Structure 1
Amino acid sequence: MSNRRIFAGQALRTLRQRRGLRQAQMASALGISAPYLSQLETDERHLTPSLADALRAAFPIDWADLAPAEADTLAESLREALADPQLPGTMPAEQVERLARQFPAFAESFVALHGLFAKGRQRLEMLDEAIGSDLGGSEIAGGRLPWEEVRDWFHLANNYVDRIDRDAETLAHQIAGDEASPRIRTMQQWLRREGVTIEWASGVALRRFDAQRRHLQLDSAQPNESSRFQLAYQVAALALSDQIAEIVASAPLQTEAARHLLTVGLGNYAAGALLMPYERFRSAARQLRHDIDRLRQLFHVSFEQCCHRLSTLQRPQARGIPVFFARVDMAGNITKRHSATRLQFGRFGGACPLWIVHEAVAIPDRIHVQLAEMPDGIRYVSIAKGLVKPSGSYYRQPRRYAVVLGCEAALADEFVYADGLNLTNEDAVTRIGISCRICPRDTCDQRAFPPSDKAIAVDPSQRDLVPYRIVEG
């Protein structure tokens, strides 16, 4: 077991300068004296486990980027396992380190058991999702439809594709120069230099590209943000075609349809990365405290495009705040989803009716804010907005859906939408779950059905908001 001391002077100085803090201010946030912090910054003193915990708590995003490599991976793994919100109480960092050092076999067994527990919990959630979907038979049998394969590929990639993201960022700087984001005019100029002719027409597909003729046709009736995105898609599809093809070829997909869908998905990803270049967008998001409307005006994108891009900011040593993002249609189906937080939601709809996204679908064009708590005790600040996409014709219904974005309440200072919430008021918390089938809450009056792992008791002589009582044990 290693006892190597960790010195973090450069990381501490960088963090303090990044946040614009004086030594006294940062020392106060960490609960230490300014002279002690000064000694840490000059590497006269080493970083203790308790101080590392204080840094994680006070500056979770910045410290994740800047922290030096852990001296003891077993102690770090044990700390993460013990931090599971479903485990009672907390253990001081020094005790965790001592436990890992003195009883390494026990620590390794505990970490392994926690890993098995987490996998078992995930399997239960996936099984519940499959049972609750019309596609349950194929999912339980182990088969997946092509779009499910691609959705899971992005999920396992943590919704971040480093090679595509970095190359799209470089391309954006070449096209946009000093501007925050490439304009329609500059993207059209780039395409024309590549020998592509462009036609804007009404009543056609949103985008159609004839590779042989090098001819791009775009629907002139679509909103400006959609036009920019379709142009960005075509630019990225041409400029990054080799990178996209190599990633698709190496992906463990079962069908040709899935490979085509992944090609499209990576093209969409590249288009978002081109319009919202990583470091420019990440810096602006931090500076504006993730105010979506101000971000979308700066980068000339739609509300949904901006929310989706925030969910992809997972570059190592330069991560954004961990957020979850989803899109929900009028029927409650989750048609897009990703979570970089501990919150996971159903893949086939059936989400908790108390989740604010359902209200947003019914009341569009305003931002709804919610402080919610999951059964594991973790609280989240969520925003949801209902969106309406015009169809261009009286005889075609407009598309109506809502997008939801959120972060853990512990990061509320980074999220402008938390400013109007009373985070300490227990009555202001909405207690939601993933799905009624696995939700343990026995006092919820909006259950669609009881949990699948518990018995119920029905008393014909009594009726409450739900016609049964959940039996514990």
Structure 2
Amino acid sequence: MAEKKIFAGPRVKRIRASLDLTQTAMAEALGISPSYLNLIERNQRPLTVQLLLKLATVYKVDLDELQGEAAGAVGHLREIFADPLLAGEVPGEHELVELADAAPNAATALVKLYRAYKEQTARLSDLAALLAQEGHETTLSGARLPMDEVRGTLERRANFFARIEDAAEAFHARLAPGDDLSGALKAWLRSEHGIAVRLLPVEAMPNLRRRYDRHSMRLFLSDRLSPFDQTRELAMEAVLLSIGADIATELDGLGLDGDEARRIARFELARYAAHALMMPYGAFLSAALRNRYDIDLLRSRFAVSFEQAANRLTTLARPGSTGVPFFLVEMDHAGNVLRLAGAQGFPRTRFGGLCPKLNIHSAFAQPAQLLVDRVEMPDGGGFLTVSRTLKGPQMPFSERVRRSAVLIGCDIAHRDEVVYGAAATATIPVGTACRLCERRGCLSRAEPPLTRPLGLDEMVTGLSAFDFQ
């Protein structure tokens, strides 16, 4: 069997330097020539098994240290050079391996520096939020991905698009779908555009929700989707064809930079338009007022999902015909925020949405149950919040179910207008986010506040892991 060749020159050189040995002295101890050791240290000759054993015996070297590939350091370096600021700087992973191998201390320093940079970026972002909360305009911004630009733009503005609402209502009136919007959309696609709709099994379309084949004029939908989501996909295709000009006009008004950001925003506006078609504004607002914003009654009335009805409640901001100004947060079980929206823009500075005491986090322990809370902010303001888990597309037995949770809320001043108000008896003290919250003794605190120095008193231990002065 051929010997395994191990090139570990820089590591052998570090061992020699740490012992303050010359090449001649180390070569003599290993029973090789100085010139051969020189070639080994320059990675021009491999370390054989015999030499590995000799190094381990003479210098008590850990063989794993010599044979390893510094995989941990390479992984950290790979993360650093995946940052958009450094993308394209390193042509291949071999350079990362060489850096981790030849200069491990420098690689470790680079990792520490990058982590400090990310930490400072996060602190500046939180500080900007704090300043904005206090009414100070900031210009702190960094390089953002197109998705970040779109999300930021949509979160800051009211979740209402007048041209799309008017056009969707008019389109709904022309369709006259009665109680079968899905059937009416299929018939309209066939008669007006010659598009046939087919439902495909998972094995035929494993990674897609919807696909339009221009050549065969067929729209394929995945049977992973619930009937409500299938209807939304049909509605999205229909509104892009029927009211595309109105969607384009609203898209231009967002002032986005770059084609990718515009493409993402166009999808979001098409999704908005689909909801407007499935739940026409006038009829939906009337039903919402009549049922005191009971989401389960609304979803039954319009044959939509809980998530679709909840999203629609955040859009009731038509001038002269408004509803309760709801806002919405959707996140996954790991705490990743998937969506923020509000009838007046998402109230990030007043509500935040990242406090671990919010009932959206508790919802994952009680799937499909409605959790209602009255929460109080540090400044005395209050909100009524309703949370519930959402189930994603149907998964086969071998895959893990995708579940997220949605929190829909409104100012506590609207409590008597909403059916859930009477259920919110206790008041839960929360904050916008741990780094901006100065509540003392909070058992849920995950990070220290930016605004206070830590209380490093060895004689006193508080309830929180991050006590502060």
The interval holding the TM-score normalised by the smaller chain is 0.5 to 0.7
Distance 1:156 1:355 in 2: 22
State the one-letter code of the partner of 2:454: I
Distance 2:283 2:353 in 1: 37
Residues 128/362 of structure 1: CA separation in 2 closer, same or farther (3 Å cut): farther
Equivalences for 1:7-26 in 2 at 5 Å? Answer: none
Cα distance, 1:440 vs. partner? Answer: 2.2
Equivalences for 1:354-369 in 2 at 5 Å? Answer: 354-369=357-372
- Bigger Rg over Cα: 2
State the one-letter code of the partner of 1:189: A
Quote the sequence identity (%). 33
Equivalences for 1:259-338 in 2 at 5 Å? Answer: 259-338=262-341
SS at match of 1:163: helix
Cα distance, 1:249 vs. partner? Answer: 4.0
Residues 384 and 405, structure 1, Cα contact 8 Å, conserved in 2: yes
State the one-letter code of the partner of 2:315: T
Residue in 2 aligned with 1:197?
196
Cα distance, 1:276 vs. partner? Answer: 0.5
Of the structure 1 ranges 458-467 and 429-438, higher mean CA displacement relative to structure 2 is found in 458-467
1:222 paired residue among 220, 225, 234: 225
Summarize deviations over 1:429-463 as a string: whole Å, max 9, x none. 11111111111212322211221011122221222
TM-score (norm 2): 0.66
Distance 1:280 1:358 in 2: 33
Cα distance, 1:390 vs. partner? Answer: 4.5
Cα distance, 1:125 vs. partner? Answer: 4.9
Residues 373 and 430, structure 1, Cα contact 8 Å, conserved in 2: yes
Residues 364/125 of structure 1: CA separation in 2 closer, same or farther (3 Å cut): same
Residue in 1 aligned with 2:392?
389
Distance 2:223 2:359 in 1: 34
Residue in 2 aligned with 1:171?
171
Residues 445 and 466, structure 2, Cα contact 8 Å, conserved in 1: no
> Are 1:159 and 2:159 matched, yes or no?
yes
RMSD, aligned CA: 2.5
Residues 270/440 of structure 1: CA separation in 2 closer, same or farther (3 Å cut): same
Residue in 1 aligned with 2:444?
446
Summarize deviations over 1:233-286 as a string: whole Å, max 9, x none. 111111011222333345422221111101111110100000000010011001
Residues 459 and 468, structure 1, Cα contact 8 Å, conserved in 2: no
Distance 1:440 1:341 in 2: 27
Distance 1:340 1:233 in 2: 21
2:457 paired residue among 456, 459, 464: 459
State the one-letter code of the partner of 1:199: R
Residues 343/440 of structure 1: CA separation in 2 closer, same or farther (3 Å cut): farther
Summarize deviations over 1:397-426 as a string: whole Å, max 9, x none. 21111011111121111110112233xxxx
- Matched pairs, number: 333
Distance 1:300 1:459 in 2: 59
Residues 372 and 380, structure 1, Cα contact 8 Å, conserved in 2: yes
Residues 233 and 267, structure 1, Cα contact 8 Å, conserved in 2: yes
Distance 1:341 1:360 in 2: 25
SS at match of 1:327: strand
SS at match of 2:446: coil
Distance 2:281 2:129 in 1: 36
State the one-letter code of the partner of 2:200: A
Residues 447/221 of structure 1: CA separation in 2 closer, same or farther (3 Å cut): closer
Summarize deviations over 1:18-50 as a string: whole Å, max 9, x none. xxxxxxxxxxxxxxxxxxxxxxxxxxxxxxxxx
Cα distance, 1:367 vs. partner? Answer: 0.3
SS at match of 2:454: strand
Summarize deviations over 1:282-301 as a string: whole Å, max 9, x none. 11001100111100000000
State the one-letter code of the partner of 2:225: Q
State the one-letter code of the partner of 2:282: E
Summarize deviations over 1:308-339 as a string: whole Å, max 9, x none. 01001111111111111110101111110123
Residue in 1 aligned with 2:186?
188
- Structure 1: state its 5+ residue gaps: 1-122, 130-138, 423-427
SS at match of 1:455: coil
Residue in 1 aligned with 2:244?
241
Residues 232/182 of structure 1: CA separation in 2 closer, same or farther (3 Å cut): farther
Residues 447 and 466, structure 1, Cα contact 8 Å, conserved in 2: yes
Residues 244 and 267, structure 1, Cα contact 8 Å, conserved in 2: yes
TM-score (norm 1): 0.66
Cα distance, 1:162 vs. partner? Answer: 0.7
Distance 2:456 2:436 in 1: 20
Residues 195 and 217, structure 2, Cα contact 8 Å, conserved in 1: yes
